[in-house]
Amino acid sequence: MDYQAVLIGCSAGGVNALQIIFQSFLEDFPIPIIVVSHQNIHGKSFLADVLNYSSTLDVCECEEKTVPMANHIYTAPANYHLLIENNGSFSLNIDPKVSFCRPSIDVTFETAAEYYGQALLAVILTGANSDGSNGVRAVKAFGGTVIAQEPLTAEVATMPESAIQTGCVDYIYPLNDIAGKILELINKV
């Protein structure tokens, strides 16, 4: 499979999980990585700044109309839903919260699934609610691939457990093995 993007959703405990995964990726990572993480809606998000310390890839916050590029990590800004438009560019909006969240993992996964189809590799990590469950259903409906963190290795198991319960998860891996599986799937090992 020739994947065109990796999409990662996380919540509570997600920053640590992302740092563990991203330390395994080299600067020649062949496709963009898009991260949706539940964040404090008050003030500036520092997620991109924090992730820059643990990755050799360029990490930046998503901006309206940007088309994601290889060897970059893009983070959804706080208090905005991140959508993938039909031309592959990012779109931000302030529609009502979904699963009590903005950004919502479901919103991004659903629009990315429609755009990327079977070329999407989606990952659900640690988190405290079921956001992402509808998103993984959409990813599977459009032919994409889904990895979930093994709940026993999650700081908060609710999010990966909810994703797994959909029956739409292709692979379940402990946190320390997820980076290797991603690299395997995109043919980098």
The per-residue pLDDT for 54 is 82
DSSP reduced 3-state for 181: helix
- Name the band, by pLDDT with cuts 50, 70 and 90, for residue 49: confident
pTM comes to 0.95
Return the amino acid letter for 122: A
The per-residue pLDDT for 42 is 56
Range from 77-81, 119-123, 136-140, 155-159 carrying the lowest mean pLDDT: 77-81
Percent of the chain with pLDDT strictly greater than 90 = 85
Could you tell me which of 103, 140, 120 has the C-alpha nearest to residue 9? 103
Write out the catalytic residue numbers.
Answer: 11, 38, 131
- The CATH classification number of 5-185 equals 3.40.50.180
The per-residue pLDDT for 33 is 98
Domain locations along the chain:
5-185
Instruction: Give me the chain's average pLDDT, please.
Output: 94
